[in-house]
Structures are given as structure tokens and as C-alpha cells.
Structure 1
Amino acid sequence: MSAPFPPWTNSLMRVGTLLCASVLVGGPALLIAWVRSPLHTHQGEPVEQPIDFDHRHHVRDDGIPCLYCHTDAERSPNAGVPSTEVCMSCHAQIWTDSPLLAPVRRSYFEDEPIHWKRVNVLPDFVFFNHAAHVRQGVGCETCHGRVDLMANVVAHAPLQMKWCLDCHRDPERHLRPPSEVTTMGYQPSEPQRVVGRRIARELDIHPPTYCSGCHR
């Protein structure tokens, strides 16, 4: 009695099984790799803003601290985007006729806000409190990078759950004195572990790692 299927179907079955296994294993692996890649997190991608604002000039050259413009970061969940009034507190006196600042002057005198575009965007289901981090010694550059070296600010960190949890589970690697949170290029005077452990003890820092700590 002849075989019900020709011999080549055995090879076809093996190839088909291999392909199915590759899809089942490789598919999720590729998806995870894509989700964690800059293609998905948009790290390093420039964001075109309505006004060309150079953080290098303001932070590095003029020494303006982050909290001068982002005043809410120290006292509220949201860091906030500076109002035009903050810009004009300086530019009503310097560069008063610069064409680069014409949109700022127009916004101020016409009482129309400047529509800045967000660089770091969190999903609606994620709760992040800037004040809780700033007051406990998490430096601005830890999440935002060296903005003093950026002509146009870009997303520095992936801001994904794993990235956040890595810090929450071992905060000592990132803590610094609260007086140094806005210092760019901060270097501890002692080993980071020693500094971080002392700050965590003094400020009683115990970051949440349970779901409702960040998802509310």
C-alpha cells in the first residue's frame, strides 16, 4: 500500500514547524525590542518648537537654574512650561528688539500663550510627581539629560516602566543633595553609593514599587 503523502511533505512539515516556532518566539521578541527602542520611545528626536529656544545659552552660558523658569517642579506634580511673563522678566530689558523674540513680545502684549510642544510625554494612566522627586534629590539631568548641552531639548530617557522601576528599586544610585538637583554634570564628593545611602536615610526615601504608586 502506497504512502498517503509523498516524501517531500515530511520536509514541508519540518519547515512549517520551524517557521511557526520562529514566529511564536521571534514575534514577541521583536515586539519587545521595538517597544524598547528609540523608534518607539522617540529618544533623541528633535521636536520643532514655535520659537527657537537654546537651552545651552540660557543654562550653560547664562547660568539660569532650571527652577527659575520651571518654578512648579519644586512644589507641584507638574514642572510646567514657563509663561511668557517669565520670558519677559529678562527680555523686557535685554534683546528687546531681536527679531528672534518677536513671537515672545507678541504673545506678551496680545495676551496669547505660546503653544510649546511637549518633549516628554507620559500616558494618561501614569502619575508622575515632579515635586516628590526634586525635593528628595533626584537631579533634573537624571531624567532630562544634559540640557545645558542641548540646542534643542530632546527626550533623554525612555520613561518606560522598567526604567522607572530600576530607579525606584535602587534609588541610591541617583540621589544627590536636594541643593544640587539643578546642577548639570554633578559629581559627588564621595562615592555615589555613600552619598545616596546617606540621603535616603536622612530623607526617609522609600520609592513605591507597587502598581498604585504610579498608576492611579
Structure 2
Amino acid sequence: MNPILILDYAGIAVFAATGALAASRKQLDIIGFLFFAAFTGVGGGTVRDLILDVPVFWVANPDYLVICVVTAVMVYFTAHLFESRYKLLLWLDAIGLGAYCVFGAWKALGATGSPVVAIVMGVITASFGGILRDQMAGEPSIVLQREIYITAALVGAAAYTGLAYLDIPVMMAAVPAAVLAFAIRGGAMRFGWSIPPYKARPGRRPEDIS
């Protein structure tokens, strides 16, 4: 097995766990857990593969769905043990973001050879599952929070792509890039890091426009 696939499996598992935790917050039944886990786990990768016009990964290898099912069942029986499920969801999401932004960049780089496409696909792979999860759960979208999120995925995907272009071995490029993305996202949650937002300026009056 290609070692970088470890990041793929890790991303699937932790995003599936965040989907199942969202289901626990909504007090859904086991079918709801399975649906949320699968949709969150494979959502970002599905969009990536459709855009890249390559076989959708979980169709080619249904083991990914098995990972989602097993994760959902585990969370169903253990979610009550965690006092702050939302906090756990956020930290698991950060781990998934780190793993998946790098794996998405790796797969896109191999499919297209374009560093720009690789970085964009890394961001989409890392963020889209969480977007879908929040929309389905009726939660505030994680990407609309002021804390850094998309930027962390962007930096991680760009770091991996840059290292890959320097001919750094795959895992030696992937691991530090994934850790960097996780560290940025984790720091944002811990210390409230954010990028200065746009501030609207008063519009000009028609008579001021020459």
C-alpha cells in the first residue's frame, strides 16, 4: 500500500467521526449516524474526483464506506462519554483537514501535474465534507467562522505541493505539510487566530462622483 494512503484513510475516519458526532448532537438514530458519517467522510473526496474526472474513490474501493460504517457505530455507542461533543468535533475536524488537504493535493498533482489545481483540490477535499455536514445538521458553517479554517488547508496543500516540486519523497513532504495545516487550525481554535475581515466603507454620494 502506498504510504500516503494512510492520510486518506485517516481523513475518511476522522471526518466520518465528525459526521457521527453531529448526528449525536441532533439525537438521531443509528441510520442517521451512518448517513452523516458516510456523507461527511466521502463528501470532499467525491467532489474532488468528479472535478478531476477520475473514478470516484469509494466506488472503486467500497472499503472506504466500511470505514465510515464502523466509525459511525463506534461513535453511536461512545458519544455519550464526551461532555463537549462540539469541541471534540472541531478537533477531529482539524485532524481531518490536515490529512485531507495533503492527500487531495497529492492526488490532484498526480492526475493533472498542475500545482494550482493541486492546491485548489487540496482545499476542496479538506473542507467540502465539513461544509456538507454543517448544512445537513443545521449548524453554523465551520468555514464562515472568523477563526482560520480554509487558510489552514490552503497552507497545508501549498506546502505539500512546494515540497513535491523539490522532489522531496512523498511522505517526507506529506507529514510536515499535514502537521502544519493542523497546527494552524489548532492554533486558530486555541488562540482565536483570524485574518482581518473586510470592513465596509460608506458609499459615496452621487454628487461626489465626477
TM-score range, shorter-chain basis?
Answer: under 0.3
TM-score by length of 1: 0.25
TM-score by length of 2: 0.26
More helix by share: 2
